[in-house]
Structure 1
Amino acid sequence: MGFLYEQLDFQRTPIGDLMLRRRRMPLFGDTDIYEVKLGEDFLMTSLFHEAESQLSILGLAAVERDDLDVVVGGLGLGYTAVEALKDPRVASLTVVDFLQPVIGWHQSELVPLGKTLNEDPRCRLMQADFFALMRHAPERQLDAILLDIDHTPTNVLHQSNTHFYTEEGLAEMARHLKPGGVFAMWADGRPEAFFTQRLDRVFRSAESHVIEFDNPITEGTSVGAVYVARI
C-alpha cells in the first residue's frame, strides 16, 4: 500500500523555497499529515507538536497575572498560537511570521488550525521579521514572548538570526517585557546548558524543560526543549 502525497503550496521566498504538503501514510490510516519545508530544512509536521504546545503551556504558566498581552514569534502550523489561546487569561495574542505565505495558509484555512485562529477575536497575524522587531521596534510592554522559529540557538534558519541568541540580543528582547514578564522558547533536542546559563545572566531566573513524545515513525521517543526565563 502506498501513500497519498499532495503539494498544497510552493513559494519562493527571500530565505528559501517554501513548501506545504499533505500526505497519508498506511501507519496512520486516513489521517492527513501536514508538513512544511524551507529549502532543505524540514521545519514541522502535524504528527508531532507536543513540544510546540508545551511552549505555550509552560511559558504562560510562569506568568503570575491575568489579562495577558502575548506575542508568539513563528506561526508554523499554528500549534503554539492555538495552545496559547486556550489560556483564558490571554487578552491579546499577536503572532509574527516572516513569511507571508505561511500567514496566508491560515487566513485561507488551507491548514487545519487556520479556522481556530481566524475565529478568535483575540488573535492577530502579523507579517514581519520577529528578530528585527525585538531589536529595533519601539518598546511594547508585553506579559509573555513565546518563540518557535529556529531549530536551536546555534542551528538557525538564517544567519541574521544569530544576534538574537547573544546576551546583547536577549537583553534587547527583554526590554519588551513588563516586570514579571516571561520569555519562553522551543528548540529541537535536549536543552543546552550554555543557553540556559546565558538566559540566567540576562533574566532574573531561567530554567529548561525536556519534552519527550512518542515517535511512531521511529517507534521510539523524540525530544524537544522549552526554555523559560523571567524578567
Structure 2
Amino acid sequence: MSARFEELDWRETPMGEISLRRRREPVLDVDVFEVRLGEEYLMSSLFTVAEIELSRLGLAAHRGTGLDVLVGGLGLGYTAVAALEDPRVDALTVVEALPEVVDWHERRLLPVSDELVSDERSRLVTADFFTTIGAGQPLSPDEAERQYDVLLVDIDHSPRHVLHLSHAVFYSAAGLRRMRKRLRPDGVFALWSDDPPDPDFVGLLEAEFDTVASHVVEFDNFLTGGTSANTVYVAR
C-alpha cells in the first residue's frame, strides 16, 4: 500500500509553482494523482472520463486512416494514451509548455507514463502550443510544411477561462483561422472545456469549419456524490 500522501515533485515555473501529488483515497482504495498550479487544482486522476472522450470523439470524427495526430497539453497523459488506442493513429505528437510535466512522464511517475513514452508512435515536445501550432506555425523549422489530421487540445479551463491572458486570442475568429493552417483538408479540431457549451464559441467554430458539435460528457463525481459534466467541441 502506498503512503497516504506524497509530493512527487514541486518546482517554480513561469506560470507559478507547480506540484505533482499522490494521495491514497481510502474510500475508493485507489491512488489519486493531482496537479496543482499555485493554489489552483489543474487536474486529478479521479476525473479522466472527459479527457479520454476528447480523443475518442475527436478521432471518431475523422474518416481516414494513417492519422497524424497532435495533442496540445500533456497533463496526466490520458488524452494522449487514449489516442494511441486508435489503430488508425500512425504518429502522435504531444506539445507541452512546461518541461516539468514532460519530465514527470519521462521519469514514469504517472499511471499511464510508461504506456505513453514506450509507444514508438509517440513523441513529447516541450513547446508553447499557442505560439506554435495554435498560431499556425510549425513546431520547428524542419517541420515547416507539416499538417495534422487531428488536433486535440486540453490546456485552458475553457475558452472564457484561460490559464494565461496570452492564450485568449487563440479562441477568437482570427486565432481559430490561424490554427486551421496546421490542419489537413478534412482535418478535425477537438477541444476540452470545463464549462457548458458556449453558443458564442460555437458560432466562431461554425464560421471556420464545415461541421461543429458540442458533446456534453457526464461522469460520476465522488467528491460531490453526484454527476459532473465537461464539454468536448468537435469541428471538422
TM-score scaled to structure 1, two decimals? 0.96
* Offset, 1:202: 1.2
Deviates more, 1:195-204 or 1:121-130: 195-204
* Offset, 1:139: 4.6
Q: Distance in 2 between matches of 1:164 and 1:171?
A: 9
Aligned to 1:51: 50
* 1:8-63: CA deviation from partner (whole Å, max 9, x where unpaired): 1001001111010000122112x110000111221100001000000000000001
Aligned to 1:109: 108
2:216 corresponds to which of 207, 210, 225 = 210
- Structure 1 residues 28-177: aligned runs within 5 Å: 28-29=28-29, 31-134=30-133, 135=135, 136-137=137-138, 138-177=144-183
Q: Distance in 1 between matches of 2:37 and 2:197?
A: 24
Q: Distance in 2 between matches of 1:40 and 1:179?
A: 42
The letter for the 2-side match of 1:194 is D
Aligned to 1:5: 5
Say if 2:17 is the partner of 1:17: yes
CA RMSD, Structure 1 to Structure 2 (Å): 1.0
Q: Give secondary structure in 2 for the equivalent of 1:200.
A: helix
Aligned to 2:27: 27
Q: Give secondary structure in 2 for the equivalent of 1:21.
A: strand
Q: Distance in 1 between matches of 2:72 and 2:96?
A: 6
* Offset, 1:189: 2.7
* 1:169-226: CA deviation from partner (whole Å, max 9, x where unpaired): 0010011111100000000032111111110111112110000000111100011000
Matched positions, count: 227
Q: Distance in 1 between matches of 2:40 and 2:160?
A: 15
The letter for the 2-side match of 1:62 is A
**Percent of aligned pairs with the same residue?**
52
The letter for the 2-side match of 1:7 is E
Q: Distance in 1 between matches of 2:116 and 2:18?
A: 22
Residues 139 and 175, structure 1, Cα contact 8 Å, conserved in 2:
no
Residues 8 and 21, structure 1, Cα contact 8 Å, conserved in 2:
yes
The letter for the 1-side match of 2:190 is A
Residues 94 and 125, structure 1, Cα contact 8 Å, conserved in 2:
yes
Structure 2 unaligned blocks of 5 or more: 139-143
Structure 1 unaligned blocks of 5 or more: none
The letter for the 2-side match of 1:117 is L
Q: Give secondary structure in 2 for the equivalent of 1:24.
A: strand
User: Are residues 129 and 142 of structure 1, via their aligned partners in 2, closer, same or farther at CA, if it must alter by over 3 Å?
Assistant: same
TM-score scaled to structure 2, two decimals? 0.94
Q: Distance in 2 between matches of 1:118 and 1:25?
A: 27
Q: Give secondary structure in 2 for the equivalent of 1:91.
A: strand
* Offset, 1:119: 1.4
